[in-house]
């Protein structure tokens, strides 16, 4: 059964142009993404051509500078685009967010020469990116990563295994964090590695609970040679670069979470107004009305929180604490809203005939990726104790 038609969202957008952008994205989402979402998620099909379409429509580089092929959009607009894409299909919203994360190191820390050479193809030339930080033995404790890059003349030789890599095996480029020096955060350096570099192999994708259309795979680096010209930032600066990318990326995850929650609410509302029990639509019963009211309130609160963090970022102010709060709150909200949506549909909610069980499985991933919600609490608490919070 097709997913329900999304309800209009009362968005606050900074310009008329951004309203037109959101309308364009909704149109693409309804025509190109939503109709195939359920079937392709069931079969595990990754919609590579769709990402090419998004790239040629300018939707893979929205928050980046126009001079290198980006869309020059404020983060508050980019995130609402992500929300619309994720509401149609999380594999697509999250994919765009991860791609953007993979572009961050080059856009923010690359030299002018590096940016001019590679960014245009990454932002609008059809390429798709992966962000390679996690490893089999280092997830939350990412600074203990073991993948090593060793200098060999003008080149670096990278050896090790990255784990859980979104777009692993399909990405055209990989932003890779590897150890070039001492143990800990200060011995890590960032590299831009072509997806087809000799010695780089992807394992079979993980068999996940949800987002089966989004390939998540280990990447094995077996003596992958990259020239020093592909080092991004200074030697030893990689972990700071990785964290700065994650501050922005977490806002993307928050927006995706609100999109999934909104889709679940739309579906639940549509069902509850049409389903009759005791001679009345079940939406008439206060038990369900209050549940729907709570779901809608969590969604609005989440949207407001990610937008307020995005506006700080757009104003050039610190936003790390607020990004962690938005990621924590929005993904927990998506989990509870999607669980409630299954409840609103009763037995039908527990079947694959309706999309709410898929939304529930998808929401779970968002509480884990880009720093689990336990790690977000650690980040928030650290800020509360430090000078940034005052």
Ligand X SMILES: Cc1cc2nc3c(=O)[nH]c(=O)nc-3n(C[C@H](O)[C@H](O)[C@H](O)COP(=O)(O)OP(=O)(O)OC[C@H]3O[C@@H](n4cnc5c(N)ncnc54)[C@H](O)[C@@H]3O)c2cc1C
With CB atoms as reference, the residue minimizing the distance to ligand X is 139
Per-position b or e across 5-29, b if 16+ CB within 10 A of its CB: ebeebeeeeeeeebeebbeebbebb
Nearer to ligand X, 45 or 151 (CB): 45
Residue 164 binds ligand X (CB under 6 A): yes
**Complete DSSP assignment for 124-178:** HSS--EEEE--BTTBSSSGGG---EEEEETTEEEEEEEEEEEETTTT-SEEEEEE
Residue 128 binds ligand X (CB under 6 A): no
Nearer to ligand X, 133 or 265 (CB): 133
Question: Least CB distance from residue 9 to ligand X, whole Å?
Answer: 26
Binding residue for ligand X, selected from 38, 192, 232, 365, defined by CB under 6 A:
365
**Sign of the torsion formed by the C-alpha atoms of 328, 329, 333 and 334:** negative
Question: Least CB distance from residue 348 to ligand X, whole Å?
Answer: 27
Residue 51 binds ligand X (CB under 6 A): no
CA atoms of 250 and 324, how far apart (whole Å): 7
Question: Least CB distance from residue 173 to ligand X, whole Å?
Answer: 13
Residue 330 binds ligand X (CB under 6 A): no
Question: Least CB distance from residue 94 to ligand X, whole Å?
Answer: 8
| From 69-77, 128-136, 190-198, 276-284, span contacting ligand X (CB under 6 A) | 128-136
CA 19 to chain centre: 22
Binding residue for ligand X, selected from 56, 277, 374, 389, defined by CB under 6 A:
374
Per DSSP, 225 falls in state: E
Joined tokens for residue 25? 């994205």
Residue 90 binds ligand X (CB under 6 A): no
Residue 244 binds ligand X (CB under 6 A): no
Binding residue for ligand X, selected from 38, 98, 158, 291, defined by CB under 6 A:
98
Joined tokens for residue 23? 């309308």
Residue 44 binds ligand X (CB under 6 A): no
Q: Which residues inside 171-230 make contact with ligand X, applying CB under 6 A? A: 208, 211, 216
Beta-strand runs (E) in the chain: 129-132, 148-152, 155-166, 173-179, 188-194, 200-202, 216-227, 231-232, 276-277, 280-281
Residue 165 binds ligand X (CB under 6 A): yes
- Catalytic residue (one of 41, 76, 362, 370): 370
**Sign of the torsion formed by the C-alpha atoms of 243, 248, 254 and 256:** negative
Joined tokens for residue 334? 């998506």
Residues contacting 111, CB < 8 A, separation 6+: none
The three-point CA angle 382-383-385 to 5° equals: 70
Residue 170 binds ligand X (CB under 6 A): no
Residue 108 binds ligand X (CB under 6 A): no
Binding residue for ligand X, selected from 120, 139, 236, 281, defined by CB under 6 A:
139
Residue 100 binds ligand X (CB under 6 A): no
Residue 359 binds ligand X (CB under 6 A): no
Binding residue for ligand X, selected from 13, 283, 296, 368, defined by CB under 6 A:
368
CA atoms of 158 and 171, how far apart (whole Å): 18
Instruction: Give me the 2-41 binding string for ligand X, x by CB under 6 A, dash otherwise.
Output: ----------------------------------------
Residue (of 359, 360, 366, 338) closest to 250 by Cα position: 366
Largest interatomic CA distance in the chain: 79
Residue 134 binds ligand X (CB under 6 A): yes
Asked if 370 and 165 count as a contact pair (C-beta separation under 8 A), the reply is no
Catalytic-residue membership of 16: no
52 burial type by CB count under 10 A (0-12 exposed, 13-18 middle, 19+ buried): middle
Residues contacting 359, CB < 8 A, separation 6+: 90, 260, 261, 263, 264, 267, 338, 341
Nearer to ligand X, 183 or 228 (CB): 183
Question: Least CB distance from residue 80 to ligand X, whole Å?
Answer: 22
Residue 369 binds ligand X (CB under 6 A): yes
Q: Which residues have a catalytic role annotated? A: 370
Positions that interact with ligand X (CB under 6 A): 98, 131-134, 139-140, 164-166, 208, 211, 216, 365, 368-372, 374-375
């Amino acid at each position: 059964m097709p997913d329900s038609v999304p309800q209009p969202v009362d968005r606050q957008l900074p310009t008329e142009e951004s309203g037109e952008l959101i309308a364009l994205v909704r149109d693409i989402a309804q025509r190109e993404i939503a109709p195939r979402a359920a079937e392709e998620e069931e079969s595990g099909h990754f919609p590579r051509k769709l990402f090419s379409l998004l790239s040629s429509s300018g939707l893979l580089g929205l928050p980046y500078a126009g001079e290198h092929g980006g869309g020059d959009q404020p983060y508050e607009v980019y995130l609402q685009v992500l929300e619309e894409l994720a509401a149609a299909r999380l594999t697509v919203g999250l994919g765009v967010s991860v791609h953007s994360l993979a572009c961050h190191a080059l856009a923010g820390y690359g030299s002018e020469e590096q940016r001019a050479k590679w960014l245009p193809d990454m932002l609008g030339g059809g390429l798709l990116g992966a962000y390679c930080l996690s490893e089999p033995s280092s997830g939350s404790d990412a600074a203990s990563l073991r993948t090593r890059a060793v200098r060999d003349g003008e080149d670096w030789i990278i050896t090790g295994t990255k784990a859980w890599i979104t777009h692993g095996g399909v990405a055209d480029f990989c932003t890779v964090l590897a150890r070039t020096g001492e143990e800990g955060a200060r011995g890590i350096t960032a590299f831009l590695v072509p997806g087809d570099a000799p010695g780089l192999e992807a394992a079979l994708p993980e068999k996940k609970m949800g987002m089966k259309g989004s390939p998540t795979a280990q990447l094995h680096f077996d003596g992958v040679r990259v020239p020093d010209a592909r080092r991004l930032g200074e030697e030893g600066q990689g972990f700071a670069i990785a964290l700065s990318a994650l501050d922005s990326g977490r806002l993307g995850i928050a927006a995706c979470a609100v999109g999934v929650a909104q889709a679940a609410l739309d579906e639940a509302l549509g069902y509850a107004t049409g389903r009759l029990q005791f001679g009345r639509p079940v939406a008439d019963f206060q038990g369900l009305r209050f549940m729907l009211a709570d779901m809608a309130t969590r969604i609005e609160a989440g949207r407001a929180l990610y937008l307020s963090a995005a506006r700080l970022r757009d104003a050039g102010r610190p936003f790390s604490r607020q990004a962690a709060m938005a990621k924590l709150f929005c993904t927990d909200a998506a989990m509870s809203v999607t669980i409630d949506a299954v409840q609103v549909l009763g037995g039908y909610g527990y079947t694959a005939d309706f999309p709410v069980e898929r939304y529930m499985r998808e929401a779970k991933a968002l509480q884990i990726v880009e720093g689990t919600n336990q790690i977000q609490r650690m980040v928030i608490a650290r800020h509360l104790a430090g000078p940034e919070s005052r």
